[in-house]
Amino acid sequence: MKKIVTLILIVLSLLQICPICADEAVSVFLDNEQIQFDVEPIVVNDRTMVPMRAIFEKLGAEVTWDESTNTAIAYDYSKMYGVSITIGIPHMLDTFLTPIPLDVPAMLHNNRTLVPLRAISEAFECRVEWDDATSTVNIYSKSFIDFSKETEQTTVKVGTVDELLSNIGSNKHIILTSDYYNISDARKPDNPYIEKSEYSEGYVIKNVINMTIEGKAEIAINDIYADVLSFENCGKITLDGLTVGHTEPNEEYLCDGCVTSFSNCKLINIVNCNLYGCGAIGVSAYNVDELIIDHCDIYDCSYAGVLFQLSSNVKVSDTEFYDGIYFCGVCLISDSDVDFTNCIVRDNKLSENGRRQGLIVTSDSFFTKSKINWNNSKFINNSFHEITNDETSKITFTDCIFQNNTGNLEHPSVIYSN
């Protein structure tokens, strides 16, 4: 009986798909790279249909097929999210069993299961664009950074916070000519690269490439729940010579806003900057590749000096961490590879209400372990319980100096070498 019902659903789906347009080939690109299919995409009722397994795997999901119900289950373990889609059923279900309507249901074509490209891509947080002139579908993943639009930087001088926010954009060299810029005083800019935070006075800078903000100036915000400078899906960003922080000081961990925050970014340079609390974290990086922090001071932060999650090629050099009363630790690192060179860590202590009592705290997943290297660095007059908290990550200290610290330096995951 189940097979008969399934057969009826398939027949009904085939009846619903007409008309099928196959006069002109449809090209599909993901992050500017063309996807090759063993069965060519077709257009059904103005919807592009593509082979199921190929598109799911390109989007980073693993696919399983239930033959008894003609259902595909695609799951992205890195995002802990997935969908199930059944031939002939006009909706799919996400991880939370929420129905997602489909204008055209999954169907059989040339012995392949085809699924609607836009609905599938958007379910996995991608942006989809259709080019009618070339019959091309362009899919952009949430973390995609389009460096093809990089050109020579245009220099712009700004003297007010409104001018600063209005001029944020790609291929810009922004020079700060005033001493002080308070983002809390800014009017909401008419700028497609800036999005107002729903929960604070802050803004998020999105989809910008090849931008430098330079100047011996201070950028601040009043709201302790706001990130001062926040970047998402940005590439080749340089912050040079800035002093950045929150105006309201808090000694204990009451501040949720980061001083600088980067999510899904690449090629980030923070040089000659002073990043101060009460910012919860001086530099927060999630899924960032090629992050350089050089000749900076990170001080008075209340949660951690730096937080690196799922990040690679992180280099911190000639940077000083000091005067922090940390809820978590000077460094909080998760699933990342980080090199610290010629750094100074001094006069830091852990909050009495601290969650983790390590100077360098790691919080790795089951699949990935961080590799943390400290080279030619000094640790002076810090107060902590343990040098680290985790026995699975690897922390190496090479040619480092420890003086007047209160805390246990011995730990199974730590290696000291000269």
CATH of the domain at 164: 2.160.20.10
124 and 153 co-located in one domain? no
247 and 277 co-located in one domain? yes
Tokens of 144: 């995609």
Tokens of 265: 């970014």
* Class of residue 367 by CB neighbours under 10 A (exposed 0-12, middle 13-18, buried 19+): exposed
Domain boundary among 101, 123, 140: 140
193 and 68 co-located in one domain? no
Domain boundary among 93, 112, 140: 140
83 and 123 Cβ atoms separated by less than 8 Å: yes
134 and 170 co-located in one domain? no
189 and 93 co-located in one domain? no
Query: Which residue in the block uniquely carries the two structure tokens 């640790």?
Result: 379
- The per-residue pLDDT for 353 is 65
Angle made by CA atoms 12, 14, 18, in degrees to the nearest 5? 115
pLDDT in tens, 186-218: 998 999 999 998 888 899 999 999 999 999 999
C-alpha–C-alpha distance, residues 418 and 415, integer Å: 10
pLDDT one digit per residue (tens) for the chain, 418 residues:
444 444 444 444 444 444 455 456 899 999 999 999 999 999 999 899 999 999 999 999 999 999 999 999 999 987 789 999 999 999 999 989 999 999 999 999 988 899 999 999 999 989 899 999 999 999 998 878 888 889 999 999 999 999 999 999 999 999 999 999 999 999 989 999 999 988 888 999 999 999 999 999 999 999 988 999 999 999 999 999 999 999 876 555 566 789 999 999 999 999 999 999 877 899 999 999 999 999 999 999 888 999 999 899 999 999 999 998 887 789 999 889 999 999 999 999 887 665 556 889 888 776 677 889 999 999 999 998 889 887 667 899 999 999 999 989 998 889 999 8
E-state strands within 152-272 = 154-158, 172-176, 180-182, 194-196, 203-206, 209-214, 218-221, 229-232, 235-240, 243-246, 260-271
Residue 40: give the domain boundaries. Answer: 2-140
116 and 155 co-located in one domain? no
C-alpha–C-alpha distance, residues 101 and 4, integer Å: 24
225 and 128 co-located in one domain? no
289 and 357 co-located in one domain? yes
CATH number for position 50: 3.30.457.10
207 and 125 co-located in one domain? no
- The per-residue pLDDT for 230 is 97
343 and 301 co-located in one domain? yes
- The per-residue pLDDT for 365 is 72
C-alpha–C-alpha distance, residues 246 and 257, integer Å: 8
**Residues 251/255/259/262 CA torsion (nearest 10 deg):** 140
- The per-residue pLDDT for 254 is 62
Domain tally, the chain? 2
Residues across the chain: 418
108 and 53 co-located in one domain? yes
255 and 371 co-located in one domain? yes
Domain boundary among 140, 156, 189: 140
